[in-house]
Structure 1
Amino acid sequence: MRLIPTLTALVVTVALYFLVLERDKLLAFARGTDPATEATQDGADAPAGDTGIAQDNSAENMKTAADAAVPGDDTPPAMGVVVRRSVAQPVDSAVILRGETQAMREVAVPAETSAVVMSEPLRKGARVEEGQELCVLDPGTRHVTLADAKAQLSLAQSRIPESEARRIEAEAVLEQARIDLNAAQKLSEGGYASDIRLAGARATIRSAEAAVAAAEAGLESAQTGIESAQAQVAFAEKEIERLTIRAPFAGYLESDTAELGSFLAAGGICGTVIQLDPMKLVGYVPETQVNRVSMGATATARLADGGAAEGTVSFISRSADPVTRTFSVEVSVDNADLAIRDGQTAEIAVASEGTRAHRLPQSALTLNNDGKLGVRIVDWEGIVQFQPITVLRDDVDGIWVTGPTEEADVIVVGQDFVTAGLKVAVSYEDESDGEDQP
């Protein structure tokens, strides 16, 4: 009873050995060729970056080869592929971006002081002009504060003449003391005055100098008082000016202004004003195409509601988004009729230099062993080659790529079952009879 499982395991082991370790010899045996000769040919013809795809699909190759074999012919059967003869076409000169409309300016106008609103509110959607009143706040005691500051300024200014007179008087006393000291020194030298008189004259000099210094300090103090009073007046006037909150620019109210009787603290929002003319279109261009977009380039946009707009590129970001690796592009468009609203989805086409490209089905794209994106083409001898490509954009009919020559026979069916350097049997996609081409 145990013999049959043992034999089954042995058979499976042998089969796996030939399929995994002796796969090349097994494939050569199926094709009827010499394993050593085929291995040498494969090593000489196949590029290093494209050697593993056919082996991964060995069962399909064996079946195709067996079906295509002709009795009495010793030539190994060629792998059959379907090819599209593609000719490069001029691609329109637009870089297509996905984005949205955005108001040129949007500001939530804040209060700069705290008070109760005493004006009737303006309703959202209303047109406002630059400098127009949005909210008027209750002044409270601010006018009283201003009057007090002005009184303090007048008082400080009145002290200037008195301080100036004291300084002049002190300077005159100092001058008289200097004269007396000079006379006392001359009399003392002639023996007509005592040392006591000379010492008294010198003391008078020092006293007069101190009086002058005090008078000058009093004058400076009076001037400082004036400057302080002027600052208080300016602050009170500015506080009263802040009671009226005005529109920073012409536009439209996106929200109602603060309601009558409500309290606005400093920093509280009186209302939101947006400017819709001109309008910005903000799109995002991938890093592979950012160099095709230039400042001042003409751009057109198709909006989600069917509307259209035209403008010029006004900004290209120098820093990519860290997540999407795309660059922001802004287009300025006229919106005098306000047909464009803020936040609409838009497809933006930015004019750029045109190019010639191939339009292929996305299924024709493949990767080589190095991970490069490309297509497999067939040359005039029926030999497969791998051609790297650059994707420009896609549409409903396929994908536009550059890389292949002006005319190229691109494999659209079977490209994943052949390798570079392999000779294949070609069938063209547009043929009705399906016969192989030489």
Structure 2
Amino acid sequence: MKRSVLIAAGLAVAIVVWMASGHFSSGTDSTASQEASATSAPASAGSAPSLATEVTLKHYQAQDLAITRTWQGEVVPVQTFNLRLQTSGTVKMRHHEKGDTVRAGDPILTLDPADRLARKAQAEAELALRRQTLEANRALFKRGLLSDTQLKTDEALLAAAEAALEQINRELDYTVLRAPRDGVLTALTAEPGEAHVSGESVGTLIVTSPIRVTFGIPQQEIRQIRTGQAVEVKLADDTHLAGAITWIAPQAHDAMRTFEAEADIPVTEPVKLGQSATVTVKLGTVKAHKLSGALLNLAADGGLYVKAADSQNRVIRYPVELVQADPDGFWVSGLPEDVDLIVIGQGFVSAGDTVKPRRQAEPAT
């Protein structure tokens, strides 16, 4: 029995020693594993370094840009005349028809002058009689045979006869209706044989040269515009003309917030009125770059900027201001005269990043 107790005690000691040996061995392996992992981590990072982003650059150079403002307008006549008779009578002849082009002073229609010619003959006879009477009475007055009152009466009668003849001659002139200015007859209603009264409208004439273009100037641009400024006008029929601003309204339109304006345009050939027109005014010349809208970025403060690369291949951010918008691009200011802008890949880089640039191939010539 003593022997069996000794065997059991020996086995217990052996088990304890074995367990203790296994515990310390496991701890040593764990520490070694952690050290190996820590040692291998830098090696892994060093084996895959970060690469610079590839971008495409395009060289831009500033150009002289004529600053312009453009508005849409309409061609209207400078002046429209309502043709009215200045005396009564019966139409004897029409010298022109609706649609005819006339010159200032050309006869348009004539009233029958017969009754006025008869009255003119009477007035001329009366005037001749008054002159003879006054001449004879002056001789009598010098001889003391005629009173001063009678002589003054004869002088007054002569003046009245002269005025009557002048009135008849004026009425005879009025029997011919003449064009007040060069233009086109757009209406002529009086027909031969018809009786008309003084002041009656019998037609319309519009002045065709110069023409007038009416347009609206937005309130944001009104400070840049003044009367006398030269304008270029392109009509709907592709006619190109030049003129000057002649009038700007002192008050903006309540609803549109635009100022009505007019420009008079001299023309040598007839222009169809009522057609639309594009009015352009040049404000000066500045240095600017023309860019695609895809290159413009919106900053947090609402401004615009573009991305470029410097000589160290680092991304630079340039704030720009919009100068003018064209159908095929945007003109901006704020860039160096010569600059390399990122045209491909700009969405993947930020200011200060290092990039791997390549040049955009120039188009073949």
TM-score, normalised to structure 1, is 0.51
Equivalence for 1:434:
348
Q: Write the deviation string for residues 285-320 of structure 1: whole angstroms up to 9, x where unpaired.
A: 4452554667473x4332223x12132x33432543
Q: Write the deviation string for residues 352-386 of structure 1: whole angstroms up to 9, x where unpaired.
A: 4122457797x988998xxxxx6266999x9x999
CA distance in 1, matches of 2:90, 2:150: 44
CA distance in 2, matches of 1:269, 1:353: 49
CA distance in 2, matches of 1:242, 1:331: 32
Residues 67 and 284 in structure 2, CA contact (< 8 A), matched pair in contact too = yes
Residues 121 and 258 in structure 1, CA contact (< 8 A), matched pair in contact too = no
CA distance in 2, matches of 1:400, 1:145: 77
Q: How far 1:234 moved relative to its partner?
A: 0.6
Q: How far 1:226 moved relative to its partner?
A: 0.5
Q: CA RMSD in A?
A: 4.4
Higher Rg of the two aligned structures: 2
Aligned length: 282
Equivalence for 1:348:
279
Alignment of 1:252 with 2:252, yes or no, is: no
Residues 128 and 250 in structure 1, CA contact (< 8 A), matched pair in contact too = yes
CA distance in 1, matches of 2:223, 2:265: 18
1:434 is matched by which residue type in structure 2? F
2:99 is matched by which residue type in structure 1? G
Residues 100 and 344 in structure 1, CA contact (< 8 A), matched pair in contact too = yes
Q: How far 1:227 moved relative to its partner?
A: 0.5
When residues 167 and 127 of structure 1 are mapped into structure 2, their CA distance, relative to the original with a 3 A threshold, is same
Aligned pairs (5 A) from 1:227-376: 227-286=159-218, 288=221, 291=224, 295=228, 297=230, 299-305=231-237, 307-311=238-242, 313-317=243-247, 319-323=249-253, 324-326=257-259, 328-336=261-269, 338=270, 340-356=271-287, 375=303
Equivalence for 2:66:
92
Residues 96 and 350 in structure 1, CA contact (< 8 A), matched pair in contact too = yes
1:354 is matched by which residue type in structure 2? T
Equivalence for 1:157:
131
Residues 324 and 332 in structure 2, CA contact (< 8 A), matched pair in contact too = yes
CA distance in 2, matches of 1:333, 1:367: 50
CA distance in 2, matches of 1:332, 1:226: 52
Unaligned runs of 5+ in 1: 1-85, 172-213, 369-373, 408-427
Residues 285 and 326 in structure 1, CA contact (< 8 A), matched pair in contact too = yes
Residues 106 and 179 in structure 2, CA contact (< 8 A), matched pair in contact too = yes
CA distance in 2, matches of 1:294, 1:392: 23
Percent identity between the two aligned chains: 21
Residues 293 and 350 in structure 1, CA contact (< 8 A), matched pair in contact too = no
Whichever structure has more helix as a proportion of its residues is 1
When residues 112 and 360 of structure 1 are mapped into structure 2, their CA distance, relative to the original with a 3 A threshold, is farther
When residues 162 and 278 of structure 1 are mapped into structure 2, their CA distance, relative to the original with a 3 A threshold, is closer
Alignment of 1:167 with 2:111, yes or no, is: no
Q: How far 1:252 moved relative to its partner?
A: 2.6
1:317 is matched by which residue type in structure 2? W
1:237 is matched by which residue type in structure 2? N
Q: How far 1:255 moved relative to its partner?
A: 2.1
Q: How far 1:232 moved relative to its partner?
A: 0.6
Equivalence for 1:122:
96
Residues 215 and 262 in structure 2, CA contact (< 8 A), matched pair in contact too = yes
CA distance in 2, matches of 1:96, 1:290: 15
When residues 345 and 234 of structure 1 are mapped into structure 2, their CA distance, relative to the original with a 3 A threshold, is same
When residues 154 and 335 of structure 1 are mapped into structure 2, their CA distance, relative to the original with a 3 A threshold, is closer
TM-score, normalised to structure 2, is 0.60
CA distance in 1, matches of 2:69, 2:151: 74
Residues 216 and 258 in structure 2, CA contact (< 8 A), matched pair in contact too = no
Q: How far 1:217 moved relative to its partner?
A: 1.8
Q: How far 1:219 moved relative to its partner?
A: 1.0
Q: Write the deviation string for residues 69-115 of structure 1: whole angstroms up to 9, x where unpaired.
A: xxxxxxxxxxxxxxxxx997654343323222234554332211122
Q: How far 1:237 moved relative to its partner?
A: 1.3
SS at match of 2:148: helix
Q: How far 1:241 moved relative to its partner?
A: 1.4
When residues 399 and 436 of structure 1 are mapped into structure 2, their CA distance, relative to the original with a 3 A threshold, is closer
Unaligned runs of 5+ in 2: 1-59, 309-314, 354-365
When residues 435 and 256 of structure 1 are mapped into structure 2, their CA distance, relative to the original with a 3 A threshold, is same
Q: Write the deviation string for residues 401-420 of structure 1: whole angstroms up to 9, x where unpaired.
A: 76x6669xxxxxxxxxxxxx
